[in-house]
Amino acid sequence: MSKHLIAPSLLAADFLDLQSSIALVNESKADWFHLDVMDGRFVPNISFGMFIIKQISTLAKKPLDVHLMIEEPERYISAFAAAGAQSITVHYEACPHLHRTIQQIKEAGCRAGVALNPHTPVSLVEDIIEDLDLLLLMSVNPGFGGQKFIYRTISRIEQARSMIITHNSRALIEVDGGVGLQNAQKILSAGADVLVAGSAVFKAEDPRWVIEQMKGISENPVGMV
């Protein structure tokens, strides 16, 4: 059994038929729903907010993993928790008082995550890694689905993994952007725990099959230990 988690991103789903996409994830081998909140300020795109997330939570049978690509996320933590988020991830680049924001997420009863843009050094979260439940490494520039995986992320995952081991942190490493069957094995072998996949799942002919394949990948295939 593989221990990694799969978190399909609904950003790539058909918004006129979200019910079907939610049912598909419910019935699949996926572990979480990944929900991308964009404010048109921190990132150059606007997606959806707590109202839609609250609606999704009424149908979703798996945890809601909320990725806040917004400025001043501390203003909305309790609202997203109330909307049904089980984990809330904020961007390092948007949080001048990151330690406080992390505590706020935990006090709201959620798993706390920090996301790093592709250019932000992994080492910058070293002093907070022990407080995190999730470390999300962006493998594209945030704001849009369907972009190409930035290959440099592989060594960033390795770096994050060794930092987590050194600090005895429970943080899971989540990789987000351009993830698909073509690179999932490499990402897992580098030390990732959670694969976010939007287009690779929802633009596929058979999304459930893609999820099943991703879930079935072994972290250490023969000859790659």
Residues of this chain that interact with ligand DX5 (CB under 6 A) are 9, 11-12, 34, 36, 67, 140, 142-147, 176-179, 196-200
DSSP state of 174: E
- Residue 56 and residue 21 in contact, taking contact as beta carbons nearer than 8 Å: no
Min CB(36)–Zn ion separation in Å: 4
Task: Tokens 């897992």: give the residue.
Answer: 188
Does the active-site annotation cover 36?
yes
Could you say whether residue 36 binds Zn ion (CB under 5 A)? yes
Catalytic residue among 36, 39, 131, 193: 36
Question: Among all residues, whose Cβ is closest to ligand DX5?
Answer: 198
Catalytic residue among 31, 65, 131, 176: 176
Task: Tokens 């150059």: give the residue.
Answer: 44
- Which one, 48 or 167, has the nearer CB to ligand DX5? 48
- Which one, 16 or 222, has the nearer CB to ligand DX5? 16
Min CB(141)–ligand DX5 separation in Å: 8
Cα 188 versus chain centre, distance = 14
Does the active-site annotation cover 206?
no
Residues 6 or more apart whose CB falls under 8 angstroms from that of 11 comprise 36, 47, 145, 198
Residues 6 or more apart whose CB falls under 8 angstroms from that of 216 comprise 2
Beta-carbon count within 10 A of 69 CB: 26
Side-chain-side CA neighbours of residue 42 (13 Å):
22
Min CB(70)–ligand DX5 separation in Å: 12
Cα 117 versus chain centre, distance = 12
Rounded CA-CA distance 187/179 in Å is: 8
Draw the binding track, 150-189, toward Zn ion (x: CB under 5 A; -: no contact).
--------------------------x-------------
48 binds, among Zn ion, ligand DX5, none (CB under 5 to 8 A by kind): none
92 binds, among ligand DX5, Zn ion, none (CB under 5 to 8 A by kind): none
- Which one, 167 or 203, has the nearer CB to ligand DX5? 203
Q: Which two tokens stand for residue 6?
A: 């799969």
214 binds, among ligand DX5, Zn ion, none (CB under 5 to 8 A by kind): none
Min CB(211)–ligand DX5 separation in Å: 13
Single-letter amino acid, residue 143: G
Min CB(199)–ligand DX5 separation in Å: 3
Rounded CA-CA distance 190/161 in Å is: 8
Which of the residues are catalytic?
A: 36, 176
